[in-house]
Amino acid sequence: MNDAAQIRQRGEEPEGRHVEPFSFTGTGREYFGIWIVNILLTIITLGIYSAWAKVRRQRYFYGNTRLAGHSFDYHARGLQILVGRIVVLVALAAYTALPYVLAFMDMLVLFTVANLVLPFLLLAVIPWLIKRGLRFNARVTSYRNVRLDFHGGYWGAFKAYLIGPFLAALTLGILAPLASRWMWRYTLGNVSYGGRKVACEPRLKALYSQWWMPALMVLLGVAPLTVLGVALFGWASSGLATVNEDTIATTIYLVFLALMAIYGFAGLFYRAGVRNVAFNAAVLDGRHEFASRLGRRRYAWIAISNFVATIFTLGFARPWAAVRMARYVASATALTVSGALDDYLNKVEETGPAIGAEYMDMEGFDFGF
């Protein structure tokens, strides 16, 4: 039984409610043709075509993601993405070069001030970029000719994407569920469809229920590596063995790779579990409930095997891997509908924002977040 069928049969539904599963209909063979052309044109144009490559990629994946017999659409233009990327690159170049220019001109006071102020200025700009990117991506997405929108503000992004990760890191991951709650409340809870808002209030207790297993994985994985590192250091320092610099460097490199593998594996488990909690707490227009049933083991297996296949095929398995993950995530996602979905969507189409050139012109540019 596939995941969509499991979602349909997850329990007795109240009268007037039914489950509409998402699905992904793309194939690796179809996407490979788009992917290889995107790669070649991006190389030939020295990266300039990458903006249009993103549009082609997104249109393929959105157009093959279906709900209740209809697909999603992606309306961004390549020029919008290119201009946004140029603006970001110029700003980053200026950010990087300014201290060196001041030092070269012997403006030591301004050099010191710049080194102190610029990092905080960058941190202050990041939430705005994130907010802007989320709004852009929502507004260039439509379903049945009705646009999505995003209403999150600057301080919400600051809390979700700066304060939350900082607290999670400061507490060695203990407050990661709290950070995840802030992030999902901001990212999903500020989305609307045709003026109908999505509410997302994931419970902290449910998020912690998805946290303890990855935390235990990290603890059990890091502890032996720490003991091994201390033992090797003590052995080398005791004078009982001669250890050259290459051996030390190799050991450090292997330990680092092992730590990254442990954190990555645990992170996949945590990501799948948190997504389930967040989507299961999301409600559209106060009545239509989202559902997510990602299997954490299966999600981790797909992600890891995709990565290995991509590496061993020198990247040529990437289209197959991307389609494989998109198909699984879609099959594990559904919308529990209250009443007749067609009647509801017809009403939204009549009253929701229409797609027009003027609306597109208001969107500005994609800054890459």
pLDDT value for 359 = 44
**Residues 89-114: b if buried by 16+ CB within 10 A, e if exposed:** eeeeeeeeeebeebeeeeeeebbeeb
Who contacts 236 (Cβ-Cβ below 8 Å, separation ≥6)? 243, 248
Give the residue, 15 or 333, on which the prediction is more confident: 333
Contact between 281 and 201 (Cβ < 8 Å):
yes
pLDDT value for 42 = 96
Nearest by Cα to 125 from 91, 160, 163: 91
CA-to-CA distance for 253 and 255, rounded, in angstroms? 5
pLDDT tens figures, 2-24:
444 454 444 444 457 889 999 99
Please provide the DSSP assignment of 80-141 as one string.
Answer: HHHHHHHHHHHHHHHHHHHHHHHHHTT-HHHHHHHHHHHHHHHHHHHHHHHHHHHHHHHHTE
Residue 336's Cβ-side half-sphere holds a number of Cα atoms within 13 Å equal to: 23
pLDDT value for 358 = 41
Q: Tokens 């907010």 appear where?
A: 131
pLDDT tens figures, 159-197:
999 999 999 999 989 999 999 999 999 999 999 998 899
CA-to-CA distance for 139 and 133, rounded, in angstroms? 10
pTM of the model: 0.83
Give the residue, 90 or 235, on which the prediction is more confident: 90
Sign of CA dihedral 53, 59, 61, 64: negative
pLDDT value for 366 = 62
Nearest by Cα to 123 from 89, 87, 95, 98: 95
| Burial grade of 121 (CB within 10 A; 0-12, 13-18, 19 or more) | exposed
